[in-house]
Amino acid sequence: MFLVAECKTPKLRERLNNKQLYVASEESCLHITKDQWAEVAGLQSNHEEADTRMILHAAHAAEEGYSAVVVTADDTDVFLLCLAFSADISCLLFQNCGTKNHVRYLDITKLCQALGDWEGRGKLRALKLIMRSEHFQ
């Protein structure tokens, strides 16, 4: 809560310049700009896992008109959530993963088009298909 309170102060907001910041805390989420802050009703969530909350934020960014969203997480669960919900996110979706010296951007949108509908196949089968695909190596 300390970080959220600090982000609301004019002193720190001034440093944002023309950037926008979204800060999730407990069940609420704040949209903070240089000039103001406000709670975002569409991002209120009781998700305990950050993984699922990232997908909620990606969908919100698409609804706000962004043409592409980059989810940064080197995590298989996040990757599979991106695959599962990409059809519900109305913009290009990428996952930034890798190491400090070797960063990769996985094009989730293109990957879903290549895999087709994998509903009901389970996580393991979808992951094996992806790992065998030369296109995504």
41-88 pLDDT, tens digit each: 999 998 888 888 999 999 999 999 999 999 999 888 899 899 888 988
> Do 129 and 112 lie in a common domain?
yes
> Do 34 and 86 lie in a common domain?
no
> Do 100 and 81 lie in a common domain?
yes
> Do 67 and 37 lie in a common domain?
no
What local confidence, expressed as pLDDT, does residue 108 receive? 93
Structure tokens at 121: 């196949």
> Do 8 and 55 lie in a common domain?
no
> Do 17 and 83 lie in a common domain?
no
CB 94 within 8 A of CB 81: no
What DSSP state is assigned to residue 1? -
Q: What's the domain count of the chain?
A: 2
CB 75 within 8 A of CB 51: yes
User: How does residue 125 score in pLDDT terms, banded at 50, 70 and 90?
Assistant: low
> Do 37 and 53 lie in a common domain?
no
What local confidence, expressed as pLDDT, does residue 68 receive? 97
> Do 86 and 134 lie in a common domain?
yes
Helical (H) or strand (E) element with 83 = helix 76-85
What local confidence, expressed as pLDDT, does residue 38 receive? 94
Task: Compute the average pLDDT of residues 87-92.
Answer: 93
What local confidence, expressed as pLDDT, does residue 136 receive? 54
> Domain range spanning residue 38?
1-46
Q: Is the pLDDT higher at 72 or at 113?
A: 72
> Do 20 and 33 lie in a common domain?
yes
What three-state secondary structure class fits 8?
helix
Amino acid at site 100: K
pLDDT > 90? residue 34: yes
